[in-house]
Chains A and B, each alone.
Chain A
Amino acid sequence: MGFHIVKRDSCPLWKKALLYVIAVLAALVLGGVLLLAMGVDPLAYYSRMFTMGMVGNKIAYKAFENYLKVFVPLALTSVALSLAFKMRFWNIGGEGQFIMGSIAAATVALKLGPVLPSAITLILMCLAAMLAAGIYGAFVAVLKVKFGTNETLMTLMLNYVALYVLMFLGDRKADWNFFLQEQSARPVFQSFADLASFPKIMFGKFGLNICVILTFLVGTLVFVYLKYTKHGYEISVVGDSAGTAHYAGMKVNAIVLRTVFLSACLIGLAAAFKVGTAGVLSTAITDDVGWTGIIVAWLSQLNTAVIFVVSALISMLHYGSVAAAATFSKVDSSFANMLQGVILFLVFTAEFFIRFRVVRNKKGGKQ
């Protein structure tokens, strides 16, 4: 008696949802086992984590504001990456593009912030960040189109180039280096929070940062762009078969360049949002969104609406683990990364069961 695997024709929605829920629950159970081994009560920890320390907290609105600060760059970066992935252009360079965008935005804030009104500074920060990130991404697309280089390797390597540029800027005290505080003897990034900071819309004490609204707006636009426009159609055809796109009279190279530029631009925008709310550069400015965004985009199967849901959950994991670390000092925020990995793994397992089912071999069938 053995088993074999059979492809499913279709899988009803409720079953899909159930399988995903089971996958996430199973991941939590596995995490729980680990917590128990460390002598931490998993239930207490999880309730702390998923409420993100908001329950029984007098300044819960503050916690939610901070949660949104984690959510915005991740959601926007994931949406941006999905654009390129849809075209099967493996942009692994979200980190580098984000960093380039951050540096550009900070430059504008520090140089133009003192002379221009804050609103104009913010708009220029966004534009500069988009341009810098866009060019950084499009550079790889140009190489691919002209010389057939591998975009995965190129974008990956450029991540490190960008990171080390940022580290250099954060490390090097010099007259020209306006990124650092002048008065401090140690190299410390200069804050520009009072020069340029994205405004909030106040609901009582809770301030909804305008970046959140803009992120949802951009997400909606990308959704429409991919699904209903000619550009979106071209992206899916090029992604599916470049030969066919060429045959249909599409200018494949131009489409690749345009899409990669746009994808990187949006990552730059995410960087501007981040910099414009943090008010200061840091070598950890990306918060790994360039990496996590790849996971989010794939978990969401490149569906823009789902990307928002998944980034909300992943951000909850990250922000929640930081909040929980305040109570449970034994468990640091790396736990969230581990949990994220386990969830990813199990969701892909669920995917397998959505596509296939396992049946027992039947004997017989004799006449």
Chain B
Amino acid sequence: MPEQYAIEMRGITKTFGSVVANNNINLNLRQGEILSLLGENGSGKTTLMNMLSGIYAPDAGQILVDGKPVTISSPEDSKKLGIGMVHQHFKLVDVFSAADNIWMGREKSGFALKGDRYDEIEAMAKKFGFDLDPRKKVRNMSVSEKQTLEIIKVLYYGAKVIILDEPTAVLTVQEIDKLFAVLRRMKEEGHSIIIITHKLNEVMDISDRVAILRKGEYITTVNTAETNEQELTEWMVGRKIDLNIDRPVVEKTRPLLEIRDLTIKNDEGAVAIDKVNFYIRGGEILGVAGIAGCGQKELCEAIAGLRPIQSGLMIHKGDNIVGLPPKAILEKGISMSFIPEDRLGMGLAPSLSITDNMILKNYAAPKGPFVDRKSGREDAQRVIEELEVVTPSTETPVRRLSGGNVQKVLLGREIKAGPNVIVTAYPVRGLDINSSYAIYDILNQQKQDGVGILFVGEDLDVMLALCDKIMVLCHGRVMGVVHAHKTTKEELGLMMTGALDLTDKYEDKPAGIARDTNITEEQLKSAQEEGEN
């Protein structure tokens, strides 16, 4: 008798217009295992999973649940079959409480909202070992709490098969550990789990088997114990790839950008960046590590002139840039690119073409009332060629490109302008290995050309390999600036949580203040006077 799988997908094909997202895919999930689904951006992982959760219907192929052929034509069907999916973008109602978010999708929940639903859901969360306040509103929850709620929701609906789409992308190291503990416990209780992730170390850590997709094709499924990261990468990318990130040694220049005693408030009026000091030299990459929402966004916006600061100095090559409009800061050669969680929010106009996005920052440069699209088109063409952007043409709206290509367009434009300081936040957010390495190469190239780079990142392994120095933020305060080749992940982790403060490590020189500073005595004095007033 053949093995009975929890889920078996046979010959699944799904096309969107002329794009084949999935071509004849075979995938099976054993009872009580954790299966990693691995593949680059656009390899069809999410599409395949959306067919299990009833969002798409396959064009061809068959799905078997517990050995029986089924048709899943709506999320409702999927729920009835005991399949639950935790999407990358949470499907929660912000103004509802945790309990109500679960309650509203329940079958036969009745007409009236009864008070006992809080108790019921709390009890059920306890049963699975979760800590959840059922009365807490979703909008007041952290990312990790929202994810927990999503998991509880699918468990509550009685899911035996749980699909998680890139659950770790938005979590900190500690939260990932917590999540994996939860997944292991669910596995022990007999749940079968499919997890989509880009991070190979997580694949090795959590999964029993790994299924690999490449460009919509099914490649293979292997036992995790019998493989290694190098082998998985080759399957995924289709060729050998060097997993080491270079850190070229470059002659450093005097500080390009110096930040002194910078204090910034966030949108709610709370202090987001608290008396921060740091400097960037030409030819170095300064990493910024910190748990999400520790003032990284506010810092980037302030440097770009998009957010007013409370106090402090921002000196670029000896000139104060505090209070300058965004345009003047651009003209000084400071480029800021911030990839927000939705990847499109800042820096690009999604409905406009690549050409139109290329000219975004210098459209006003030509004389006369007209914009110069011709040179914009040439720039677009060059960026497409040099960074291998996959697009039908230069006139394609940016929102139709896949994530990696969008980010390449953004970085390509920033680099084309020939900046001397690049501030980049999460440039590889959500990117696959190939695209990520392409971006690291771009940054290293810029570094070798003498550009100073502030790299706000989330993956500590990458930052340790790529950056020259790493500044750690915790609740808006600098916990120290360390040399990347001298520190460890553990040390950074402790600093990120605020348990370790290395700001006074060197007594002769406080962290973040350069000896060969460009800041003049008068600037410092006037700033201090201003601070006192």
Contacts and interface: CB of A to CB of B under 8 A. Distances in A.
Contact of A365 (B12, B325, B351, B356): B12
Main secondary structure of the interface of A (DSSP, over half): mixed
A240 B19 contact: no
Main secondary structure of the interface of B (DSSP, over half): loop
**Contact size range, A:** 20 to 34
A291 B143 CA distance: 44
A366 B352 contact: no
Contact of A241 (B10, B326, B345, B364): B345
Given A6-B16, A228-B370, A365-B11, A236 B363 contact: no
Which of B24, B58, B352: most chain A Cβ within 10 A?
B352
B346 A247 contact: yes
A247 B306 contact: yes
Which of A2, A246, A248, A362: most chain B Cβ within 10 A?
A248
Contacts of A57: none
Nearest to B61: A365
Interface string B508-527: 00000000000000000000
B62 interface: yes
B17 A10 contact: yes
Interface residues of B, number: 43
B17 A244 contact: no
B498 interface: no
Nearest to A3: B57
Which of A232, A243, A249: most chain B Cβ within 10 A?
A249
Contacts of B13: 365
A244 B11 contact: no
Contacts, number: 95
Contact of B360 (A6, A237, A365): A237
Interface in A209-237: 228-234, 236-237
A234 B15 CA distance: 37
Contact of A244 (B15, B346, B370): B346
B448 interface: no
Given A244-B348, A246-B326, A247-B346, A364 B16 contact: no
A367 interface: yes
Interface in A6-47: 6-10
B441 to A, nearest CB: 25
Interface in B313-368: 325-327, 330, 336, 344-352, 356, 359-361, 363-364
Contacts of B352: 236-237, 240
B361 A249 contact: yes
B73 interface: yes
Contacts of B348: 241, 244
A11 B421 CA distance: 44
A232 to B, nearest CB: 8
A9 B18 contact: yes
B371 interface: yes
Given A236-B352, A365-B60, A246 B10 contact: no
A4 interface: yes
A183 interface: no
B61 A241 contact: no
Contact of B364 (A10, A230, A359, A367): A230
B59 interface: yes
B369 A249 contact: no
A230 B363 contact: yes
B17 A230 contact: no
A229 B370 contact: yes
Given A228-B371, A236-B356, A249 B325 contact: yes
Contacts of A248: 326, 360-361, 363
B304 interface: yes
A361 interface: yes
B369 A230 contact: yes
Given A10-B17, A240-B349, A244-B348, A233 B356 contact: yes
Contacts of B351: 236, 240
Contacts of A236: 349, 351-352, 356
Interface string A243-261: 1111111000000000000
A270 to B, nearest CB: 24
Contacts of A231: 369
Interface string B21-59: 000101000000000000000000000000000000111
B369 A229 contact: yes
B12 A229 contact: no
A244 B62 contact: no
B371 A229 contact: yes
Contacts of A229: 369-371
Contacts of B57: 2, 4, 361
Given A365-B62, A366-B11, A246 B306 contact: yes
Contacts of A249: 325-327, 330, 361
Nearest to A240: B349
A296 B359 CA distance: 31
Contact of B349 (A9, A244, A362, A365): A244
Contacts of A234: 363
A240 B349 CA distance: 6
B304 A247 contact: yes
Interface string A137-155: 0000000000000000000
A12 to B, nearest CB: 13
A307 B10 CA distance: 50
Given A247-B347, A362-B60, A230 B370 contact: yes
Nearest to A224: B370
A237 B18 contact: no
B361 A241 contact: no
A7 B56 CA distance: 11
A361 B57 CA distance: 8
B379 to A, nearest CB: 15
A366 B17 contact: no
Contacts of B363: 230, 233-234, 248
B10 to A, nearest CB: 6
Contacts of A366: 10-11, 62
Given A362-B59, A364-B60, A367-B10, A237 B349 contact: yes
A362 B18 CA distance: 17
Contacts of A4: 57, 73
A51 to B, nearest CB: 41
Interface string A344-367: 000000000000000101101111
A245 B327 CA distance: 11
A243 B12 contact: no
A362 B57 CA distance: 10
Which of A2, A10, A241, A362: most chain B Cβ within 10 A?
A241
B233 to A, nearest CB: 29
A366 B73 CA distance: 19
A243 B345 contact: yes
A364 B10 CA distance: 10
Nearest to B398: A240
A13 B3 CA distance: 52
Interface string B78-107: 000000000000000000000000000000
A285 B58 CA distance: 56
Nearest to B359: A233
A236 B355 CA distance: 13
A73 B17 CA distance: 41
Nearest to A231: B369
Contacts of B336: 247
Contacts of B12: 365
Contacts of A365: 10-13, 24, 58, 60-62
Contact of B19 (A9, A233, A359): A9
A333 to B, nearest CB: 39
Contact of A247 (B16, B17, B326, B344): B326
Contacts of B58: 365
**3 tightest A-B contacts by CB?**
A9-B17, A249-B327, A365-B60
5 contacts: A230-B363, A233-B356, A236-B349, A237-B349, A244-B346
Given A229-B370, A249-B327, A365-B12, 9 more contacts: A2-B57, A8-B17, A228-B371, A237-B349, A241-B345, A244-B347, A244-B360, A364-B60, A364-B62
